[in-house]
Structure 1
Amino acid sequence: MPALKKTVLTVLSAVLLSVCVVGPAGAADKDKTDDKQPKPTGPMSTVGGKRLGEVGTQVELGPGAPVLPKKLTGRSWIVADAENGKVLAAHNAHWRLPPASTLKMLFADTVLPALQPKTMTHMVTEEELAGVGEGSSLVGVKEDHTYTVHDLWLGVFLQSGNDAVHVLAEMYGGVDATVAAMQRHAEELQALDTKVVSPDGYDAPTQVSSAYDLTLFARSGLQKADFREYSATATAQFPGEKKKGKKRGTFGIQNTNRLITGDIGVEPYKGIAGVKNGYTTHAGNTFTGVAERDGKVLLVTVMNPSSEESHAVYKEAATLLDWGFASSGKVTPVGELVPPKSAATGTGKGARPAGGSSKAEDRPAAAASPAAPAGSSGVWIALSIVGGLLVLLAAGVFLVNRRWPLPDLVRRLPRR
């Protein structure tokens, strides 16, 4: 064979081999090279792992793993295992963006436990509805009418009613007190991208969250049975207005989460069990969902996808869930959903933002060890240190492997 021919064949072989090797990674990282997509302008947080603070798509495909869906337009998104907290893939996960009504997940997770029992009734006043923003989504709460806490929460989750939010906030202690409590709870959950200004997610200067934080709110809320019930309910009856001489009636409301109820161009997603959608002019569409399939529970959040396609936020969330279920066990996690501060001892992974802290008060205290007997050699001290390290290691392993069960995930889909 002529030398020139051998050289050509060698070069072609090398080119083909390189294409085969880099093909899947290139497909998975397509979003990184899309110059048309908006990008974060400043540094992002690294809570949950260094890679979650990097710009663009983060994914580690293993053998047999499908590539990520094409044409994802969300400015920020994340797919995570709801139970062990492992992040399977993410795109600008810590980009601080307006959350719209997905912030109601934090509102519910903060306020819901305090307003019990859910049969508690409340007479609504004009003042309680005065602060509802112009153009807000409403469920139809009326002043001088009585509602149960259960009614109001259905109004929050199904119709994203800002009127119901404001009444519940007043019952909790007022809007200002509720906003302060939500901010404290966000910090407890280590949702450090979040700045709360309004309890309902209504556009307000400086009010932001992130796909990462919204996923933390959903994961925390889903530990609560009432939260799971409300977020998964498809349809309900809401108390109507009183009319003289007639018994007070009700009217039907339907969940605006299209992966639960479906819509033109969107089919109900198999295994969906909540959580919350949102929209404002400033935020665009936002959505966090949870779904179960074959014993695996996944969380997905998508923020501000392209407005050119109808229901893009639901379609992209559904394709990411499909990818997540198909990729189970075939990808290396790129980060984790950290536990709340109260669930961490300061020694486990995720107890602090990745990278640690240089402040002495933020560092874990040294493990206590028994005093060495008088006259003993350094062997006892060494054994004590090793014992302390083993205790710290065991605590860390417990936190890393701790599963967050999501019992009784429910779907209340309309009968067809």
Structure 2
Amino acid sequence: MPSSATPDAYTDPVGFGQRMQILRTRRGMSRPVAAGLLGMSVSWVKQLERGEIGMPKLPVVLRIAELLRVRDLSDLTGDQSVPVDLFVGPGHPRLPAVRDAVNALTLGDSDRQAPPAVHLAARLAKAWAARHQAANHREVIGELLPGLIRDAQLTVRQSDTGTDRRTALAILSEVYSLSQFFVAYQPDSALLWRVAERGMVAAQESEDPHAIGVAAWLAVQAHRDSGQAYFDAADALTREALAYLEPALPDADDRTAAITGAIQFEAGYTAARRGESGAAWGWWDKAQATAARLPSSYYHPVTSFSRAIMGAHAVTVAVELRSGGESVRQAARADAATIPSRPRRARHRIEEARGYQLDGQPDVALAMLAQAHEAAPETIRYSGYARRIVLEETESRVPARRRRAATLAEQLELLAA
């Protein structure tokens, strides 16, 4: 490697501070922004990155890892002896079968009769319901997806009319959306993007507003989760989707109104990740107004958008704005019992845990994570935020807290190689 080349934080024997600087730069994050989000001074970050001070203690290391969305803790620390995935969960046993179905061309199925679109739609609806009801939701949908993907692809291929083809494409797009829920936070980011892109193409060809909205909603999340350098792309996609959906909102059916509200919230979520408090809460207010027009019992099968979810969304906004006190206040107002989806309820508990951790209440944070594990173990196993909190508290000086965190770490198989 030429002496002028940038070292690779993943392979070169560089120190913690230099690794942090490389990873921060790759995220498109300035030093002042990083310092502000960490609650440290710019000079402290500068000294750390220059190697003028040593690697901080584990709680701070984990906050840096969360900020930079480091996948494996050793990418930041350089210690390869104990690999610890943070924002990527373990590869699910059903991942290869789902990957094969996504990659297949279905050309070998040309002699098989495709199922009618109405039957395929009914199977898809049952799959979404199963996902919301199951504690091991990845196992459930991982079993269903290969057949759904192949049948949806075949139904598109065998459509006789333009109308039939658009109907089948809308279904195929939503099957890819379900696939994205399965693939997310697993160790195959290329497959995640392939699924997201195919879902968007199928949705656009279907000309179905709801399908387009769902595909856009998931694509926004994929961009935002790729790091701060992709926030502008997430915002641009949000604006395009809302420009398409909002004009029809007054006459929209419940599911189209719900996907519009879900995208409105995503705009606020991205603003919160940027630290833009006014914009974040402004978008939350807009999404709240959209939720208010929905029936009280309505719950969107893909996004979970509903009246009931807005309290959980408020917790997320406060947490992303790094406001511990406001996070706790919003958590007290939100009613998790009204969230019918087990994985979504578990995610809400994780967000509450983040809020209590920010507010200096680690024991309550661990209690929330225990409730998340009870609601949906597969949700917490794949959550980088939950992993960070549990790892941090295994180093607690309080014996009871340390034992509680160690129990959770064991349940999550957190330190498994």
TM bucket normalised to smaller: under 0.3
Decide which structure has the larger Cα Rg and report it: 1
TM-score after normalising by structure 2: 0.22
Higher RCO structure, 1 or 2 (CA under 8 Å, sep 6+):
1
TM normalised by structure 1 equals 0.22
Higher relative strand content: 1
Q: Larger helix proportion, structure 1 or 2?
A: 2
